[in-house]
């Protein structure tokens, strides 16, 4: 439960139709097993205490009283479990019969949720037995022998005292399939977790549609949505029940299984309720509703991430087809943004500083694609190579080969003399390889590009990527500046995939060879003299591995996670998973701490550079544009973040 992770289990037990006592014993045992395995929320199907297909037996007093006794038995037998249980049963109240989801914890029923939408079509005839919820929340009292329990029935949000973000509500099966599900109101009332107790039968094609509904509802309601269907034991007289289960979070599937198709009678995962709360805070259109609240408490424990997958590269899909699809769309978005800017500015040329590195290669590809679309020709794309002290034969050769293969115009402007003259003007020694030595080159290159753009009536196309913007790895008013930054929304880990994608899809052998060579070249600004003809200055040796920085960037900016949570997830993804798996990423906990601390230090200190960025297209969920998603004072202090990070690191060593 630490960091907001709650382990959830959805279970489809074998049902005994109309035998509530036997079902209660089975459910109690399964709940105990799940709780002993760390589950804090355990969900069972619709009418799971008696079976969904009991038919007219629902009108038998014996079945109804048996279900009440079973509820009391279940509450008593699970009272010592550090968990919340959601179970289905009929409830007779006010001379009506309701199909309810009961929430049980600490030996008592704390809330009941009557089904709002009662189907009576196709194979369903629930209106024969059940009354639809009328929207009026009221108190209900149940009695079993000398015992009684009183609880609210209706629109209720159950709130955990020890983990305030763990807030819970329920709806039942058909309620999700209608235009206005009750879960919308419950989510707006503060429920971060919605459970759906279901008994949806299986027909061909239904699984795909149901999966779409669950994912969409979890995304629309910005919640964790737990769907648990009835399975084995339900009557198959006219239908088959497959025990389909799915747990989704904010539109993403965390766990899925079906007893009928894959033998998964239990699925479990860790949901991030703090993450859900953070996402809701980002959205000012979510809306609010008033509902009754009830409180429960659980012992707060650390929930190991055994089932939840934490991707090491959150910006890059792991599946090849999905990755290719994303790369194609991003290139199209970059191209469309640049074409619009070209047309509005009346640009006659596009000027790109080409270094032989990844970012400038991608920018040149985008410029050529934009020229194809706007002009039908690439002859007015001007690629400028500007060798200086740190330029190597490999990078210069790659720059030339790529430019020629793409069909752009190539210009070479050697800036050594200009930079040396500048050193003489300001009294700086060529032998002092400090930040002045490096930045003078970057600013001279930008001046050359800007002036060539002025000469030709063109636009300077920026090359810097999202990861560099996050770290401030750019020379202020040097490569920091352009007239349109096509890579501004693309993180470094994705830049490489975009270049590789275009290499494979362009159909030009020479372009492919040049891009592959560029992808294999170490990342460097090449501002220091080479050593033995090889690159001497490797960016990742200075600022840290981009794979790790992009992971941090996503979880800090997109997810809003605390430093301790970012550190925990990074260790899980890059060092050793909490399931005991060695990730084999080549990092230690010390590495994670060092580079995460460096990220926070640079991210805060370099905001002044982001405050005056050139325009550039947003292509994903993270952008650092001061005009769009990220507005931060340049004088903000990182000390609180770094102190928490250090504390988390020290605790992890014990």
Q: From its phi and psi, is residue 545 left (phi > 0), alpha (psi between -120 and 50) or beta?
A: beta
The closest alpha carbon to 396, from 379, 409, 382, 414, belongs to 414
The kind and range of the H/E element at 167 are strand 167-172
Q: Which two tokens stand for residue 214?
A: 């669950």
CA pair distance 619, 331, nearest whole angstrom: 9
CA pair distance 68, 91, nearest whole angstrom: 8
- Per DSSP bridges, beta strands 266-272 and 5-11 are antiparallel
- Coil, helix or strand for 168? strand
CA pair distance 248, 193, nearest whole angstrom: 10
CB atoms within 10 A of CB 415: 19
Q: 67, 100, 158, 173: which one is catalytic?
A: 173
CA pair distance 280, 275, nearest whole angstrom: 9
CA-to-CA dists, residue 413 to 353, 355, 383, angstroms: 10, 12, 11
CA pair distance 330, 315, nearest whole angstrom: 12
Phi, psi dihedral angles at 364 (to 5 degrees) = -65, -40
Q: 40, 50, 115, 327: which one is catalytic?
A: 115
Q: Which two tokens stand for residue 575?
A: 């060092």
CB atoms within 10 A of CB 184: 18
- Per DSSP bridges, beta strands 138-144 and 292-296 are unpaired
Q: Does 173 qualify as catalytic in the annotation?
A: yes
Q: Which residues pair with 8 in a beta bridge?
A: 41, 269
Dihedral, 47, 52, 58, 61 alpha carbons, nearest 10: -50
- Coil, helix or strand for 338? helix
Q: Does 76 qualify as catalytic in the annotation?
A: no
CA pair distance 139, 141, nearest whole angstrom: 7
Q: Which two tokens stand for residue 539?
A: 């960016």
The closest alpha carbon to 473, from 609, 339, 635, 591, belongs to 609
E strands, 180-274, in order: 193-198, 224-229, 244-249, 252-258, 266-272
CB atoms within 10 A of CB 496: 19
- Coil, helix or strand for 103? strand
CA pair distance 332, 370, nearest whole angstrom: 9
The closest alpha carbon to 367, from 384, 380, 357, belongs to 380
Residue with the two structure tokens 């469309």: 336
Q: Is the dihedral of CA 332, 334, 335, 341 positive or negative?
A: positive
Please spell the DSSP secondary structure of 568-588, one letter per residue. HHHHHHHTB-TTS-B--SS--
CA pair distance 559, 582, nearest whole angstrom: 25
- Are the C-beta atoms of 603 and 624 separated by less than 8 Å? no
CB atoms within 10 A of CB 511: 21
Q: 46, 171, 438, 547: which one is catalytic?
A: 46
Catalytic residue list: 46, 115, 173
């Amino acid at each position: 439960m630490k960091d907001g992770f709650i382990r959830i289990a959805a279970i489809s037990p074998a049902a005994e139709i109309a035998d509530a006592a036997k079902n209660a014993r089975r459910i109690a045992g399964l709940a105990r097993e799940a709780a002993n395995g760390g589950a804090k929320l355990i969900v069972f199907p619709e009418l799971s205490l008696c079976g969904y297909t009991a038919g007219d037996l629902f009108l038998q007093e014996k079945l109804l009283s048996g279900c009440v006794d079973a509820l009391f038995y279940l509450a008593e037998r699970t009272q010592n479990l550090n968990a919340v249980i959601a179970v289905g049963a009929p409830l007779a109240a006010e001379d009506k019969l309701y199909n309810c989801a009961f929430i049980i914890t600490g030996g008592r029923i704390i809330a009941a949720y009557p089904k709002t939408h009662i189907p009576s079509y196709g194979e369903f005839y629930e209106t024969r037995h059940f009354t639809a919820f009328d929207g009026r929340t009221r108190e209900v009292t149940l009695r079993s022998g000398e015992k009684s329990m009183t609880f609210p029935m209706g629109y209720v949000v159950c709130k955990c005292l020890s983990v305030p973000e763990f807030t819970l509500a329920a709806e039942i099966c058909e309620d999700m399939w209608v235009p206005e599900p009750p879960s919308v109101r419950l989510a707006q009332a503060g429920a971060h977790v919605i459970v759906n107790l279901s008994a949806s039968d299986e027909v061909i094609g239904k699984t795909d549609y149901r999966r779409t509904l669950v994912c969409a509802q979890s995304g629309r309601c910005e919640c964790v949505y737990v769907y648990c269907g009835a399975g084995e034991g339900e009557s198959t007289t006219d239908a088959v029940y497959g025990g389909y289960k799915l747990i989704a979070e904010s539109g993403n599937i965390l766990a899925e299984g079906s007893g009928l198709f894959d033998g998964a009678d239990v699925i479990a995962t860790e949901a991030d309720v703090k993450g859900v709360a953070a996402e809701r805070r980002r959205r000012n259109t979510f809306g609010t509703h008033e509902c009754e609240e009830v409180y429960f408490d659980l012992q707060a424990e650390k929930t190991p991430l055994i089932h939840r997958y934490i991707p090491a590269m959150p910006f890059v899909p792991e599946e090849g087809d999905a990755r290719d699809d994303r790369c194609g769309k991003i290139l199209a978005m970059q191209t469309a943004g640049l074409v619009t800017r070209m047309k509005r500015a009346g640009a006659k040329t596009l000027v790109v500083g080409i270094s032989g590195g990844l970012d400038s290669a991608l920018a040149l590809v985008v410029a050529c694609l934009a020229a194809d679309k706007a002009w039908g020709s690439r002859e007015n794309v001007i690629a400028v190579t500007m060798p200086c002290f740190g330029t190597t034969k490999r990078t210069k050769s790659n720059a030339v080969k790529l430019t020629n293969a793409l069909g752009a115009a190539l210009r070479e402007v050697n800036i050594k003399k200009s930079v040396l003259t500048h050193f003489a003007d300001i009294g700086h020694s060529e032998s002092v390889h400090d930040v002045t030595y490096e930045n003078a080159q970057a600013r001279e290159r930008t001046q050359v590009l800007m002036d060539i753009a002025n000469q030709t009536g063109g636009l300077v196309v920026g090359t810097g990527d999202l990861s560099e913007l996050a770290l401030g790895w750019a020379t202020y008013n040097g490569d920091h500046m352009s007239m349109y930054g096509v890579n501004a929304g693309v993180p470094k880990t994705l830049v490489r995939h975009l270049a590789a994608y275009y290499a494979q899809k362009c159909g030009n052998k020479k372009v492919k060879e040049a891009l592959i060579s560029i992808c294999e070249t170490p990342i460097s600004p090449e501002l220091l003299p080479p050593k033995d003809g090889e690159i001497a200055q490797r960016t990742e040796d200075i600022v840290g591995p981009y794979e790790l920085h992009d992971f941090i960037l996503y979880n800090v900016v997109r997810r809003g996670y605390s430093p301790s949570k970012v550190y925990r997830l990074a260790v899980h993804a890059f060092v050793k998973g909490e399931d005991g798996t060695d990730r084999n990423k080549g990092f230690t906990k010390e590495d994670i701490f060092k580079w995460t601390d460096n990220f926070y230090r640079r991210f805060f200190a370099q905001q002044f550079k982001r405050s005056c960025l050139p325009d550039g297209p947003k292509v994903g969920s993270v952008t650092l544009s001061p005009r769009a998603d990220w507005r931060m004072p340049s004088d903000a202090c990182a000390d609180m973040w770094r102190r928490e990070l250090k504390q988390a690191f020290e605790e992890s060593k014990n």
